[in-house]
Amino acid sequence: MSDPRILGADAGTAVREAQRPPRPRGVRSINLVAGAVLFGVIVLTALVSLVYTPYDPAETTGGRLSPPSAEHPAGTDVLGRDLLTFLMIGARLAIAVGIGSVAISAVLGVTIGLVAAFASRWVDDAVSSLLDIAIAFPTVLLAMLIVAWRGASLESAILAIGLAGSAVVARLTRIVGTRVLSEAYITASRTAGTTTARMLVLHVLPNVWPTLVVPFALQFGGAVVAEASLSYLGLGSPPPNASWGRLLQEAQSTVLVAPLGAVLPGVLLVVTIVGINLLADGLRDVVDPSSRSGR
């Protein structure tokens, strides 16, 4: 391998291989399956927590910081509350944050994006520049601003994260929307006398949608992390509806006595995010088979 020519040739092969058309779907959908399983576990936990949790979240049944036992599979927290119960509630909150903020971003972002795509060049430029600034503004800082305004609650967090995400969605929608609007079938439809509103619903949205599925999935994961960070800083929803970020903050000071409390919420966070990321990866291959593996 000391001969530079061989090195160069090697690199060439590697790259050509990386740019080869995607492997057969069977191999690639491993991402999809693994992601669906990981994420499915979290969703299932969240659903179960709606009808059943081992204990009442406010119930202080166990000893303080007791290790895992038959009664408390994940141990208890500093006040003797059951950790498993909190972990399950955390899953429910994580899903709520993901769905809520992605919904806000979707409604706002797609609307703004389509307006920009339809609008005159001047409006389009103005909106796009504003979006650029909005995207440059870090989500967590925006979230802190909104929390300072509305007070710390789950709704504030969802609203903030959703707003921050909508700029990204809007920019993407604008790009895809512009492309769709230049298609022949739009001209044809317009010639046939279709109203703008009808065209939006019938032709534009269905063609913009597939491109947005993957970003939405990725945004879901980002929203869960952002909420966890806010909660960790004490700016999320207050107990007893404690999210994983809050649990981590509370467990930080007792990590040597009860390490599980500082580990399990983090593990669940990572499982959720890796799960949704893999799911997004898998979806990308399904939605857009031409995408390469290299990102």
Partner 1 sequence: MLRVLGNPVYALISVGATEEDIAAAAARLGVDRPLPVQFLDYVGQLLRLDLGRSFTSNLSVGDEVLRRLNVTLPLTLLSFALSVLIAIPAGFLAAWKARTWYGTAFSALTQLAGAIPVFWVGILLVTVFALRARILPAGGFPRTDWEDPQAALRALVLPVLTIAIVSGSELARYVRSASLDVLGQTYLRTARATGQSFAGALLRHGLRNGIVPVISVLAIQLSTTFVGAVIVENVFALPGLGDMLLVGIREQDFPSVQGVLLFSTALVLLLGFVADVLQRILDPRIRGTLSGNHRSRAAA
- Please give the residue ranges that form the binding site for partner 1 (CB under 8 A): 4-5, 7-8, 11-12, 14-19, 125, 128-129, 131-133, 136-138, 140-141, 144-145, 147-149, 171-172, 175, 221, 225, 228-229, 232-235, 245, 248, 252, 255-256, 259, 262, 266, 269-270, 273-274, 277, 294-295
Task: Pick the closer one to partner 1 by CB: 78 or 140.
Answer: 140
Q: What's the min distance (Å) between Cβ of 18 and partner 1?
A: 4
Please identify, using beta-carbon distances, which residue of 121 and 191 lies nearer to partner 1. Answer: 121
Q: 76 pairs with which residues across the strands?
A: 82
Q: Which is nearer to partner 1, 27 or 51 (CB)?
A: 27
In angstroms, how far is CA 265 from the centroid of its own chain? 17
Spatial separation of the C-alpha atoms in residues 280 and 295, rounded to whole Å: 13
* DSSP for 110-176, written as a single string: HHHHHHHHHS-HHHHHHHHHHHHHHHHS-HHHHHHHHHHHH-S-HHHHHHHHHHHHHHHHHHHHHHH
| Cβ–Cβ < 8 Å for 75, 66 | yes
- Within 10 angstroms of residue 246's Cβ, the number of other Cβ atoms is 26
The minimum distance between CB 128 and partner 1, in angstroms, equals 5
Q: Provide the minimum distance between the beta carbon of 51 and partner 1 in the complex, in angstroms, as a whole number.
A: 29
Whole-Å CA distances, 229 to 127, 128, 152, 290, 294? 30, 29, 13, 35, 29
Run of H or E residues at 284? helix 259-287
Least CB distance to partner 1 at residue 183 (A):
18
Rounded CA-CA distance 121/53 in Å is: 55
Residue type, 99: I
How near is the Cβ of 137 to partner 1 at its closest, in Å?
6
CB 169 within 8 A of CB 110: yes
Of the two residues 207 and 229, which places its CB atom closer to partner 1 in the complex?
229
To partner 1, the closest distance from the beta carbon of 275 in angstroms equals 9
Rounded least distance, CB 271 to partner 1, Å: 9
Q: Which is nearer to partner 1, 13 or 196 (CB)?
A: 13
- Which CB, 53 or 249, lies closer to partner 1? 249
One-letter amino acid for residue 186 of the chain: I
